[in-house]
Structure 1
């Protein structure tokens, strides 16, 4: 496994937009999928809020998408989205992807804490976040779904 974060470019745009977290979403471009907002939605959020969009690769294969940045309204660094294409689920990518994103955020921002939110019933994502060291803050992000907020405190 060789996880790489690659800057989103025009050449990668449609490949990333068409990468879906659920096979049922293959024929649709929607704002929200079952476990995550669509990549198209988050690319738009990156443009508006100044977040950093990245394609996620394992060697030369596009497997996912992420975006992160400083969220001014909350005054903190956030992992805004992390998605893995449905065809790659169950292959052990979750923890290595999350660690690669954390490492890049620390390198770029020198941040001491990273926040994220997870849809309340996404047990797989919650388990990955907790395995890496994120802990619930007790706060809830109100969006399309209630999303408990987690924080990773770094050295």
Structure 2
């Protein structure tokens, strides 16, 4: 049973202890950085990803001030919990959370390093379609609500 929960005093320190696999570390900013960044970007949501009562991941998403669309800026599952389908379940919950907001848009965007093959496969499985390289070197992918 996967759930998204607020990050607060009770779990933020556990969130910063979560780590991707060593070969994935270059693909994502640390959770500590992301939590700090969210304090200066009030439109960003930060969520802890739980399996039952076990903290297993982290996500940050919100509306981009440049294009007015929702973007998933950070998404990670701790190395110990990868390969069990939790990423797909959590990503589907994030999509549902975005869709349930009054300010939701018709699309959700994300970007990832082109060599992040595991991420590419996960995003494709939940319905993101690649749309080309961004000027900053990431592959962009778009999820469209039908």
Q: Name the TM-score, length of structure 1 as normaliser.
A: 0.86
For 1:83, the equivalent position in structure 2 comes to: 76
CA 79–141 in structure 1, closer or farther in 2 if over 3 Å, else same: farther
Q: Matches of 1:148 and 1:45 in 2, distance apart? A: 22
SS in 1 for 2:39: helix
What stretches of structure 1 move > 4 A for 4+ residues in a row? none
Match among 63, 68, 78 for residue 70 of structure 1: 63
Q: CA deviation at 1:130?
A: 0.8
Q: Matches of 1:141 and 1:114 in 2, distance apart? A: 19
Ranges in structure 1 where 5+ consecutive residues have no aligned partner: 25-31
Q: CA deviation at 1:23?
A: 5.3
Alpha-carbon deviations, 1:33-76, whole Å to 9, x = none?
33311101111221222200000001100000001100102321
Q: Is 1:95 the equivalent of 2:94? A: no
Once the two structures are overlaid, the 10-residue window that deviates more, 8-17 or 89-98, is 89-98
Q: Matches of 1:4 and 1:36 in 2, distance apart? A: 21
For 2:12, the equivalent position in structure 1 comes to: 13
For 1:55, the equivalent position in structure 2 comes to: 48
Root-mean-square deviation (CA, aligned residues, Å) is 1.7
Match among 109, 115, 130 for residue 124 of structure 2: 130
Q: Matches of 1:56 and 1:79 in 2, distance apart? A: 14
Give the conservation status (yes or no) of the 8 Å contact 1:137–1:149.
Answer: yes
